[in-house]
Amino acid sequence: MPTKTLTDRFLAGKRDAANYFDTTITGLCCRVTPAGSKLWSFVYRVNGGGPQWMSLGSYPTLTLIKAREKAKALRLIVDDHRDPIVERKTAALIAATPPAAAAPVLTCRKFAKAFITFQKGKKKTWKDDEDRLDKRVLPAWGDLAVTAITRPMIADLLTEILAEGDMTVGINKVQVLISRFFTIAIDQGVHPGPNPASRMIKRFKGTPRTRVLTEKEVRALYAELVERPSEAADVVWLRLLLGQRAEETAGMFWDEVDLDARVWKLNAVRTKNGLEHWIWLPDMAVELLTTREKARTDPHVFPAMAGRQQKADERNLYGIAQTFPNFDWRDLRRTFSTGLGDLGIEEGVIDRLLNHKAATVGRKHYNHAKYLPEKQVALAAWDRELTRILKNEPKTSRVIPMPTR
In the CATH hierarchy, which fold is given to the domain comprising 215-391?
A: hpI Integrase; Chain A (1.10.443)
Asked if the domains 3-96 and 215-391 are classified in one and the same CATH topology, the answer is no
Fold of the domain spanning 3-96: Double Stranded RNA Binding Domain (3.30.160)
Report the candidate in 389, 402, 392 with the shortest Cα–Cα distance to residue 237.
Answer: 389
What is the sign of the dihedral through the CA atoms of 197, 200, 206 and 207? positive
Name, in order, each residue with C-beta under 8 angstroms of 329's C-beta and a sequence gap of 6 or more: 236, 239, 246, 311, 314, 315, 321
φ, ψ dihedrals at 54, nearest 5°: -125, 120
Give the dihedral sign, CA 304/307/313/314: positive
Listed by start position, the domains of the chain span 3-96, 108-187, 215-391
For the chain, how many residues are written?
405
How does pLDDT run along the chain (405 residues), one tens digit per residue?
688 889 998 888 888 888 999 999 999 999 999 888 999 999 998 887 888 999 999 999 999 999 999 999 999 999 888 898 888 888 888 888 877 665 578 999 999 999 999 988 777 778 889 999 999 999 999 999 999 999 999 999 998 888 887 777 788 899 999 999 999 999 999 999 899 999 898 877 766 677 889 899 899 889 888 888 888 889 989 999 999 988 889 889 999 999 999 999 988 888 877 788 899 999 999 999 999 999 898 999 999 887 644 444 454 554 555 556 566 777 889 999 999 999 999 998 999 998 887 655 445 544 557 778 899 999 999 999 999 999 999 887 655 555 655
pTM of model > 0.85: no
Q: Please give, one letter per residue, the 3-state secondary structure of 134-170.
A: HHHHHHHHCCCEHHHCCHHHHHHHHHHHHHCCCCCCH
Partners of residue 278 on adjacent β-strands:
265
Q: Alpha-carbon distance 203 to 209, whole Å?
A: 18
Give the C-alpha separation, 115 to 25, whole Å: 63
